[in-house]
Structure 1
């Protein structure tokens, strides 16, 4: 299968960037010019989203395998939101392919369940899934607003999200949403590569209270909270994001 892949930069460590649900790699546009001076970037549209066709089977394992086929042999993986869950699955399936992992506004378990409270209420998630099935455009618009609420640059971020959504023609919007029901806490516990988690203080989707729960699962993960951000910390606080990425890069064994 041919996925949509973009590559930038000619020097430095390999860096894979994975976007979130309902969007495409276009969301990374503001960081590409900056990061491509220091990294060799690979941006991949997740199967079923953006400009990549859906797979015949839409499991996390299948999507992770498809992404690995397009990625460098060894790289730092940066996954935002759903992209973080996929990057975590990649690390579980093929740990030797990662030199480090950065989870950005991402969680190993997006929906609440017994023993796991820093997540979305299951009834709210079900209602959101119903909206995607029957009123996708309206639901995506609401989703965009939730992602930016509380951010210091909410207007700019919302404008960009709407542009990326308008340009995307996803093959599998509903199916890829269901991936967020997966519980990857076991994969997080077994994670062996250098890893960091970046959270936004005002994130309405992945709460900042997740920090303590993640450290309890895997104390080796370095957690940072961006105090002026919501769900898009790489856009809200670009300098802070670059510093966090540089810090993780220094921890790798490239």
Structure 2
């Protein structure tokens, strides 16, 4: 029997959404999206990273959904969003998809806090100059991500020179090899590359099932986009209050990226460094990630959280400059 692509019980199992929908992007691509939490509550929109899916956000959604409406979507080719032709893989496509999700899931005039992990954070950066993002985003969280030079800065292969690291990580990002079953050696390799030394067996299993479910062709095409990534100019135009979060043991997007983002962002509202954590911070410390999102809602959406068990009427959001 084939194992499911995610855990089916416990904190890391995806909760059942209140509703699901198909979102149509600018080029006609279809994206799977789901909505959790009470209608009318303050909204958080989450964008996952390379080789992941909506299931990646499960523990964060479980933390937020009592008092927040949470919108998730599968990046094109990931999870339940269909694959697209090779030309459909670009940072422009990522931006188109995020804008489509915002426009087709939020109510007219509604704003949200937007969070992105890894490639999801790059998605937010890519959309920085879009008027739709500026109209919809009250604040943003960039989690375990970077804007450029990913291959030369990564430490999965801790070679002494940027050129050597660039070549080694180019092979990693550009691999077409199937990952195979979720075996003990595969989980060891994934833990080394993406998680901190203190990751639990359940966290490793949750990440492995999600990552191994990503089709090799999708992993390869988006890996090429990541290798060529140049979004530092876009970061400097992300003119919404933005928090940055990173694990200090992140080998894929090390702390240097987060510190660089914090120095370039027009409205950085804090850099959080989580000691000993790796790249998969929403799974390694979902409380910290959810807490930072709650802070952004409190400070920039200006809407009181809905009491547990109640369905509040939609409240008017405060406009921000």
What's the TM-score once normalised by structure 2's chain length? 0.70
CA 1:201 to 1:91, structure 2 compared with 1: closer, same or farther past 3 Å?
Answer: same
Q: Distance in 1 between matches of 2:34 and 2:258?
A: 32
Per the alignment, residue 66 of structure 2 pairs with 37
Q: Could you say which residue in structure 1 is the equivalent of 2:262?
A: 215
Partners of 1:229 and 1:220 lie apart in 2 by 25
Structure 1 position 137 matched with structure 2 position 179: yes
* 1:179 to 1:92, Cα distance in 2 relative to 1, 3 A: farther
Distance 1:9 1:170, change over 3 A: farther
Q: Which runs of 5+ in 2 are unaligned?
A: 1-28, 157-164, 302-316
Distance 1:124 1:108 in 2: 19
**Structure 1 match to 2:96:** 65
CA distance in 2, matches of 1:86, 1:189: 14
Contact 1:118–1:210 (8 Å) recurs in 2? no
Preserved contact between residue 79 and residue 104 of structure 1 (Cα < 8 Å): yes
Q: 1:156: Cα distance to partner? A: 2.5
Q: Distance in 2 between matches of 1:212 and 1:126?
A: 23
- More helix, by proportion: 1
Native 8 Å contact 1:55 1:63 kept in 2: no
The one of 217, 223, 236 equivalent to 1:177 is: 223
Partner-residue secondary structure (3-state), 1:21: coil
**CA contact 2:246–2:255 (8 Å) conserved in 1:** yes
Contact 2:144 / 2:246 at 8 angstroms: preserved in 1? yes
- Shift in CA distance, 62/137, structure 1 to aligned 2, threshold 3 Å: same
SS of the residue 2:226 aligns to: helix
Farther off after superposition, 192-201 or 206-215:
206-215
Matches within 5 A, 1:187-202: 187-202=234-249
TM-score by length of 1: 0.86
Q: Alignment partner for residue 96 of structure 1, among 115, 135, 144?
A: 135
3-state DSSP of counterpart to 1:78: strand
Q: Which moved more, 1:165-174 or 1:99-108?
A: 165-174
Question: Which residue of structure 2 lines up, in the alignment, with residue 21 of structure 1?
Answer: 50
For each residue in 1:171-204, what CA deviation from the matched residue of structure 2 results, as whole angstroms up to 9, or x when unmatched? 6221111221311111111111010110001111
Q: Which entry has the higher C-alpha Rg, 1 or 2?
A: 2
Q: 236-245 or 37-46: which moved more?
A: 236-245
Q: 1:105 aligns with which of 132, 144, 159?
A: 144
Aligned twin of 2:193? 146
Looking at structure 2, the residues matched to 84 and 156 of structure 1 have their Cα atoms a distance apart, in angstroms, of 25
